[in-house]
Structure 1
Amino acid sequence: MTLRTTIMMMQACGALVFSTVIFAEDATNEINGSNIELQTLQVQGRALSYYKEDEAALATRTSTPIDVTPQSVQVVTEALIEDQAARQITDLYRSISGMSQNNVSTVTLRGFSQDEVLYDGLKGDPFGDFSIPQLFTIEQIQVLKGPSGAIYGAGEPGGVINYVTKKPTYEEKNTLKVSAGNKDFLSGSIESSGPANEDASQRYRVGIYSDGQDSYRNNVEEENRIIDLGYAWDIDENNTLNVQYTDIHQYISGARLRGIPTDDDGNFLADTSWNNNEKSDYQELDAQVFQARLDHSINSWLESNVLVRYFDNTETQKYHEISKLIDSNSDKVEREFRDQVRSREGITLVGNLIAELGDHIVLVGSDYFHQKNDFLYDKTTKGVAELSLSNPVYGQDDTSAYDMVPQTNESTTTDQIGLYIQDQWKVTDQLDLLAGARIDRIEEKYDGYKIKTGITKANYKDTGYSTRLGATYRINDNWKPYTSFSTGFVPQGAEDQQKSADGSLFDPEESQQFEAGVRSYWFNNKLNVNLAAYHIVRENILQTDLNDESLLVAVGKVRSQGVELDILTDITPHWVANVSYAYNDTRVKESTKGIQYANGDRFANTPHHQLGMWTRYDFPSITSSIAFGADYVSEQINRQGQTVKPYTVYDLSWQTRYDDWKFQLNIKNLFDKEYAVSGFTQKIGSFVGERRRVYLSASYDF
């Protein structure tokens, strides 16, 4: 389906929804009486009241209006998360321009794979590498696009994702919620938050969530459980302490879930229910997180905050993996069995001083990040039964009888300390400047065994520098352009440093971005339009040495450029729309040879076009609403150049309130489309998009 066809279908569906709801509301008014005179009220629509966020601390570590932030920032609010019945981050890609799915648990952002995320501005992802973040504890998702090195240190150049967690509230709020759906989906949760004493100087939060469901994929069942606790204390008028603890458990049978092989044109070679995993295969995650923050007001112009986040998790995976497509005409694949355990433990410490000095807001801060990763990996190919693509027969083997061969037993310890300074200068009433710089010292220790290389020990130390300079200008209430230059870096791994031809250390990967955009407001602020254009270059990517394939050289270079358009509008006081469009072109500019990429090649899983839409119409007379969503992603390629077909999926939602009850029906993938969200390799195939899912929920506030 072409982009033009998709847009026409969206317009037609939007017109149909609009005409339907107008007819329904007129019919309701006729039932209530044909000659009723209604008082005219000026009502602000849901988009600007609930979907729009005016401030965010992600880009600057200070509470800053987005209009004076010279870099693209996008916020998905709690109201939009609830309206779309989003349970995990994959449900929200349509609402974030430039973001698409890379594999099961990571995303592509502005053309680059992004797998590291922040929680309340702190490193420490409890979900690790392969588990999809759940949203029960999340009230907002913030995305800073482009390199973020000047404020957060080492990171991918496409941007950084920040999950803002739910905190204890000053007002009492209690919610009980149950949900059910097809594929035996069932979930329940209870959340309670509010004052713990009479003057609300102490507050609490308790949240418990559990769900279970089957899948369209063979052998797959999933269970999630989350316990979330919070305590806030206004120690005095100058000090506030917030403490949080979260316990997470996830179990998925028939996993680690992979793709389905395709031909070069992107056609699946098996039914989309096919799975290379047995029912006894599984992926299990257990994680705990402790987080605390102390805010201190020193005087009228100086304040500080200190933050700490500790996490540990263990991810166990016992699963079958495709090892070989026997041949292009065969119906069978060869498999191997893998037994992997990943354990992570980390702590982040952050301290900031924020000074308001006339027209300047100066930030001086430091952070320290320590993480230890342990990885144990055994596998076997002997005695593992082949599997048919057209008629899979599971349970042919006894996995306990496999003769496992140790592959990897390694431990990697990373320490990073950063110092940063930033100045937000209000030059005039129209002009704001932002300048920031950061220095990072990174040390990595590697101690491990790999079957291919034997026992290896390696230490790596390096220093990274990052800068950002930007400006915003308020022409008038309608036009607010901005421009910025930002840099970032990613350190090379300690193990890779052993593969230098001359024994010297590889420099970190370096990236830089030029971005220009404009935020505009129309029709008495009922229409908000954000337009951004960017150019990113990433260098020093390690490549295979042409003279010795056992060695590496840092000559890789990738260029990404594109345009993003985000529209948020109250079409009427009761009809809102949220539209996100992105164009991206990411290509390899320098490479030693085309084992995976050659010069000029497109990057894998970087669609040229993405278009997401969410529109909702409210019926105040019956306290109900209907909403419609669409998500279009253009053609992609996998890592070996095979096509990943374009797709468009549609969602539908209905919501109504009765006293303290809210009932909601969500239908995702309305027309039950079979599609791939992204691709990997020829043998692993493409990752299958979710088929039609129906969710009905009831929540009670008390």
Structure 2
Amino acid sequence: MKKYFISAFLVLISISSWAQVGTVKGRVIDSEGQPIGFANIILKNTTHGTSSDGQGYFSLYNLPEGSQALHVTAIGYESIEQGAVISANKETSLEITLVESITQLQTVEILGRTEKSYANTTSFLATKTSTRLEDIPQSIGYVTKELALDQAAFRVNDVVKNISGVNQFSFYNDISIRGFRVRGQQNSGNLVNGMRAFTSFWKQQLIPHIERVEVIKGPASALFGNASPGGTINRVTKKPLKEQRQSISATVGSFNTFRTLGDFTGPMSKDKTLLYRLNLGYENSGSFRDLQFDKNLIIAPSFSFLPNERTRLNFDIVYQGSEGRLDRGHAVFGDGDLFSVPVTRALNASNDFLKEESINATISLRHQFSENISLNSIYMRSSYVEDLLEHRTANAFATLGDGSMDPEQVEMRVFIRKRDWNNDNFNNYFNFDFETGVLSHKLLVGYDYFQQLLEPGGSQLQARGYLTADRSSMINSFNPDNATAYALDSDGNPVPNVPHFDLTDPTANRLRDMSDYIYQTNLFPQSRLRTHGIYLQNQITLGDLQLLLGLRQEYFYDELNYKTENEEFVTQSALIPRLGMVYSLSSRVNVYATYTEGYQPQTASIINDPNAGGPFDPLTSNLIEIGTKTNWFDGRLNATLAFYRLVQQGELYSANDPSNPDLQVQIGEEEAKGIELDIIGRITENWSVIASYSYNDAVITESDDESEVGRQKPNAPEHTGNIWTKYVIDQGMFKGIGIGLGANFVTERFGSIVRTDNPPLFPGYELVDAAIYYQVDKFQIQVNVNNIFDKTHWVGGYDFIRAFPGAPRNVMTTVSYTF
């Protein structure tokens, strides 16, 4: 009987327990409504839990009746506690939304960006921590991949017009920021994922594998060492996502353009600890310029390994191969009439070529030792190969026998060149989060090392100048007072080593017989430069006030004639401070102020080049900036207004010496003062906009040539502006149709040669672009029309022999499919 009562009592307890439990079923999604797979959902203060499946769905059974709390976590997202009211013997439905983490989880950008608009909320460039843009005491401009796709942009130069204070300097990988130049083949101002990368100077950088292009305005030397004073351009590569996404697209259009792209990403394991992404791009296009073409191939695989919430590892490679010709610009008649020669005319011969190849390989590790201490370690190997044959100008018109110039013929020279660089970039930094009383600290302590090596064999054959009387050698320039030393034609004019380019000859681009040219050899001896940087940064928070204190000690070592008996060694160093403040007036408005200094050492190849006229001092700069950052429409639309004063000492300019085109002069001081406004985001869910305006008064303030003082800096327009807006109809019979419309303007600019009484002046321009889109499910077709009114314009220029016209009206049609 006793056993019977015990058994019956246990059955009653079981029935009672069963009657007091319930079930929760639901789905975990992100802020864009996309499912989050393998999120952990745990009943608070217990071990009872489950994980969401690949589509974000989950089920929890046998939960106690009443109000309960679920702890929800997922890699890359902020953890939350979700309340749930459990009813006995009933099923409760939940939809749980997680927000992408803006803590230091992605300090090295291991995971892909999940935002899908023109706006971006965080930056890793400006502080080397994941910081909200509104909390950074400096102006940060950017263009996301969504905007680039909407504008059918393929290169960095295509998108910089969207950022205030940034414009093209030339055809090349050559950008002006606040009136100061950032160019390729230098390690100051071009970054990939925050690391210095060696890039081509001649070809604009491609962006089909790029998540966003960022520009930190002003010198960033306190974090990156050698940096351009105007700003630093960072290209963030696309990273793996936790959900499966694939897309392919093809573009055809004007100038025989054909492009095709592929983007594939997702998990490689069921638990989403191993992710992949593969970006592919191919371009075969012509140009509105004679003989110009581009063949480009991009292969960019990336892998992320996330074994636990404390450790993240990323590996990515970007291979780029390019073939084309080097376009040195538009030459016009000697009177400087920009319309005297068609903008289509290039000065190449048809046997010219330019072949380039670059590889960037990066491995990055983040480990969280504790809740408050983490380590980031990043290594990038960057290589670049250049193989060039070009007929180009000697930066002068042809010289006649009496010493005068022929305004219709351009003096030419030939380069045959091969060079090969390898870069190593190693960056390590610790983050410490701690509190001292009422102050919260985010302390960054780091060390980085950079090495750039010009490999053996770098050399150039150059044919230039005029033939000697016996035609056995050449002289760089013609001196009419010593005419008997030169070979003369029947008209008494000196015979050029390389035939002049006749701007009136429609067949001047023909094949050139180079066998009779007399060459001299220019060697680029193996060289190595190295930098070591130790830096500290503390982001301090006291209520609504945030302070940023930074300091870097930089050591620069440059070796010319590396590993030879003639090795030359140059050492430079600098202590670089940075101060910043942000104050929150409200949840929508922050004001900020910053002071930072910049440092750019002159490389040994410039310092010791006898043709350049050195030695030269390093470039130094400083920035004072104040501004405000605001957000509207529930945070969908962001705006930045900045006021700045930027000063630099020591810029090098060409001396404009016809007898020595390599001769440089060092300007004493330059100053840029201005105002910038950037607006970006969405007014409504289907109405996106980006707009910018810049007033930039960039002038030379000190020079040994008094006539230059007060002169506008080269290719530094006083006013630039841009607006682009896209509206998508989301209901009714026209659902899926979108319209894009934009305009940008640039005011007149001087060319880059300043050592002349009348520097060339390039006119301002205003351009209008438009696009129409149609999307059905996962298929989209878009048509972009650029320069609708076919405005003839010049994006920049050195002089009237090297001007850089912009493209006439052109149409691009893109078909894309996402699956």
- Check if 1:233 corresponds to 2:305: yes
* Further displaced range: 311-320 or 332-341: 332-341
Match among 530, 544, 555 for residue 441 of structure 1: 555
Note the C-alpha offset of 1:103. Answer: 1.6
1:248-295 deviation line (CA, Å, top 9, x unaligned) = 101113x24423336676624310110100122111111122111011
**One-letter amino acid matched to 1:635:** E
Correspondence for 2:534: 419
- SS of corresponding position for 2:306: strand
Deviations 1:450-494 (A, max 9, x none): xxxxx9752101111111101011112343111010001011222
- Within the candidate set 102, 107, 122, 2:169 is matched to 102
Q: What CA deviation, in whole Å up to 9, does each residue of 1:75-107 have, x standing for no partner?
A: 211211111111001111221110011122210
**Shift in Å, 1:171:** 0.8
Q: Which moved more, 1:226-235 or 1:370-379?
A: 370-379
CA distance in 2, matches of 1:601, 1:187: 43
Give secondary structure in 1 for the equivalent of 2:524.
strand
Matched, 1:697 2:814: yes
Normalised by the length of structure 1, the TM-score is 0.86
Offset of 1:415 from its aligned partner?
0.3
Q: CA deviation at 1:537?
A: 1.0
**1:567 is aligned to 2:693:** no
Distance 2:518 2:413 in 1: 11
Listed as ranges, the matches of 1:452-463 within 5 Å are 457-463=567-573
Query: How many Å separate the matches in 2 of 1:348 and 1:486?
Result: 24
2:227 maps to 155
2: distance between equivalents of 1:574 and 1:554?
51
Matching residue of 1:287: 358
Distance 1:291 1:505, change over 3 A: same
**Structure 2 length-normalised TM:** 0.74
> Which amino acid is 2:419 matched to?
R
The letter of the residue matching 2:669 is K
Partners of 1:325 and 1:222 in 2: CA distance: 29
Q: In the alignment, what sits opposite 1:343?
A: 420
| Identical positions, percent | 26
3-state SS in 2 of match to 1:219 = coil
In structure 2, what is the equivalent of residue 618 of structure 1?
728
Which structure is higher in RCO with an 8 Å CA cutoff and minimum separation 6?
Answer: 1
Distance in 1, matches of 2:763 and 2:674, equals 21
- 2:158 corresponds in structure 1 to 91
Change (3 A) 1:386 1:419: same
The 1:75/1:554 distance shift into structure 2, 3 A limit, reads closer
Matches within 5 A, 1:329-368: 330-358=407-435, 359-368=440-449
Q: Which moved more, 1:620-629 or 1:329-338?
A: 329-338
Q: In structure 1, what is the equivalent of residue 316 of structure 2? A: 244
| Residue number among 636, 641, 644 corresponding to 1:534 in the alignment | 644
Residues 543 and 556, structure 1, Cα contact 8 Å, conserved in 2 = no
User: Shift of the alpha carbon at 1:128?
Assistant: 2.2
- Alpha-carbon distance in structure 2 between the residues aligned to 1:522 and 1:682: 46
Alpha-carbon distance in 1 for matches of 2:364, 2:663: 45
Deviations 1:484-537 (A, max 9, x none): 10001011222454589xx99865321100000011334655653311011011
1:15-164 to 2 correspondences below 5 Å: 50-104=117-171, 105-115=173-183, 116-125=189-198, 127-164=199-236
Partner of 1:397 in structure 2? Answer: 512
Secondary structure of 1:90's counterpart equals: helix
Distance 1:499 1:221 in 2: 34
CA contact (8 A) 2:323 2:355 kept: yes
For residues 184-203 of structure 1, the aligned pairs below 5 Å read 184-203=256-275
Inter-CA distance 200–543: structure 2 relative to 1 (3 Å threshold)? closer
Q: Distance in 1 between matches of 2:511 and 2:312?
A: 60
Q: Which residue does the alignment assign to 1:431?
A: 545
User: Which consecutive residues of structure 2, in runs of 5 or more, have no partner in the other structure?
Assistant: 1-114, 184-188, 399-403, 465-495, 754-758
Is structure 2 residue 696 aligned with structure 1 residue 584?
yes
Deviation at 1:639, TM superposition (A): 2.4
Distance in 1, matches of 2:503 and 2:335, equals: 17
Change (3 A) 1:437 1:193: same
Residue pair 1:187, 1:210 contacting (<8 A) in 2 also? yes
Partner residue, 2:103: none
The correspondence for 1:317, drawn from 388, 397, 420, is 388
Corresponding position of 1:406: 521
Conservation of the 8 A alpha-carbon contact between 1:560 and 1:585? yes
Cα distance, 1:574 vs. partner? 3.5
> In structure 1, how many angstroms separate the alpha carbons of the residues matched to 2:598 and 2:751?
26
Q: Separation in 1 of the partners of 2:765 and 2:602?
A: 36
| 1:226 positional shift | 0.8
Shift of 1:334: 2.4
User: Following the alignment from structure 2 to structure 1, what is the Cα–Cα distance between the partners of residues 287 and 330?
Assistant: 14
Match of 1:683 among 785, 801, 804: 801
Aligned-pair CA distance for 1:185: 1.0
Alignment-mate amino acid for residue 320 of structure 1: H
Deviation digits for residues 352-395 of structure 1, max 9, x if unmatched?
Answer: 10111131100001110000135422211354232222333132
Task: From the superposition, tell whether residues 93 and 544 of structure 1 become closer, same or farther in structure 2 (CA, over 3 Å).
Answer: closer
**8 Å contact 1:604–1:639 — kept in the other structure?**
yes
How many residues were matched structurally?
Answer: 638
What is the CA-CA distance between 1:213 and the residue it aligns to? 1.0
Question: For residue 310 of structure 2, what is the amino acid of its counterpart?
Answer: N
> 1:650 aligns to what?
768
Q: Secondary structure at the match of 1:235?
A: coil
Residue 369 of structure 2 corresponds to 298
SS of equivalent to 1:94:
helix
Whole-angstrom distance in 1 between the partners of 2:741 and 2:528: 47
Contact 2:338/2:800 (CA < 8 Å) preserved in 1?
no
One-letter code aligned to 2:603 = G
CA RMSD in angstroms, aligned pairs only: 2.6
The question of 1:628 aligning with 2:741 is answered yes
**1:348 partner amino acid:** N
Secondary structure in 2 matching 1:620: coil
- Letter of the aligned partner of 2:720 in structure 1? Q
SS of the aligned residue for 1:410 comes to: coil
Cα deviation, 1:84-142, whole Å, max 9, x if unaligned, reads: 111001111221110011122210001100123101100113x3222210001101111
Gaps of 5+ in 1: 1-47, 449-454
Q: What are the superposed Cα offsets for residues 11-70 of structure 1, whole Å, 9 maximum, x if unpaired?
A: xxxxxxxxxxxxxxxxxxxxxxxxxxxxxxxxxxxxx96111121111100000111111
Cα distance, 1:333 vs structure 2: 1.9
CA 1:396–1:522 in 2, change beyond 3 Å: closer, same or farther? closer
Q: 2:452 maps to which residue?
A: 371
Maintained 8 Å contact 1:168/1:194: yes
Equivalent AA in structure 2 for residue 322 of structure 1: T
Q: Distance in 1 between matches of 2:261 and 2:630?
A: 40
1:543 touches 1:591 (CA, 8 Å); kept in 2? Answer: no
Distance 1:495 1:239 in 2: 42
Q: Which has the larger radius of gyration?
A: 2
* Matches of 1:240 and 1:523, distance apart in 2: 35
Partner of 2:751: 638
Answer whether contact 1:222 1:251 (CA < 8 A) is retained. Answer: yes
Distance 2:123 2:347 in 1: 43
Matched residue SS, 1:50: coil
